[in-house]
């Protein structure tokens, strides 16, 4: 008789310092626990890194990992127990996810949204600088400024770029 697997979601809290130092090790550790519990991981992503509302085991910050997985319902208590006994995992909550769709699993996490915003800002600055450089060249050609003066303008723009990056 085949065991029916249900969809679950788990929110796992790990120490931010340890996650930063050994992210791959944390992921492998979590995957091993799910494998022992006969779970099939569908999605496992860093959800966010946040300050905790109160200290837990002397830790003030935590990294949250969101995992969607299929598992026999009888294995959930073993998975929770292994996670709670692990020294690398601070907290765990597992919820049944019958209501979760594939689109829900693929939604951007807060970390992904911040990364996209930062990339968009960097791209916007680069585009603005390229546009300013092109405008300066056009104006220089219009005003009859020589190549040496254009090179000086480009050097000034590079210095400004360096200052912006340092901020």
Taking a C-beta distance cutoff of 8 angstroms, is the pair 8, 97 a contact?
A: yes
User: pLDDT digit string (tens) for 19-71?
Assistant: 999 999 999 999 999 999 999 999 999 998 999 999 998 889 999 999 999 99
What does pTM read for this prediction? Answer: 0.68
Lowest-confidence pick of 45-49, 88-92, 117-121: 117-121
Could you tell me which residue, 138 or 79, shows the higher pLDDT? 79
């Amino acid at each position: 008789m085949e065991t029916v697997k249900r969809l679950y979601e788990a929110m796992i809290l790990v120490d931010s310092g340890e996650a930063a130092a050994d992210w791959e090790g944390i992921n492998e550790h979590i995957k091993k626990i799910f494998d022992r519990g006969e779970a099939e991981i569908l999605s496992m992503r860093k959800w966010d890194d946040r300050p905790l509302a109160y200290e837990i085991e002397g830790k003030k910050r935590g990294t949250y990992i969101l995992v969607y997985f299929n598992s026999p319902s009888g294995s959930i208590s073993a998975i929770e127990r292994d996670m709670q006994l692990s020294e690398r995992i601070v907290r765990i909550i597992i919820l049944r996810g019958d209501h979760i769709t594939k689109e829900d699993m693929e939604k951007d996490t807060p970390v992904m949204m911040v990364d996209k915003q930062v990339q968009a800002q960097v791209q916007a600055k680069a585009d603005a600088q390229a546009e300013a450089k092109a405008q300066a060249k056009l104006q220089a050609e219009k005003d009859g400024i020589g190549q040496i003066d254009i090179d000086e303008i480009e050097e000034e723009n590079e210095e400004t770029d360096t200052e912006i990056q340092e901020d």
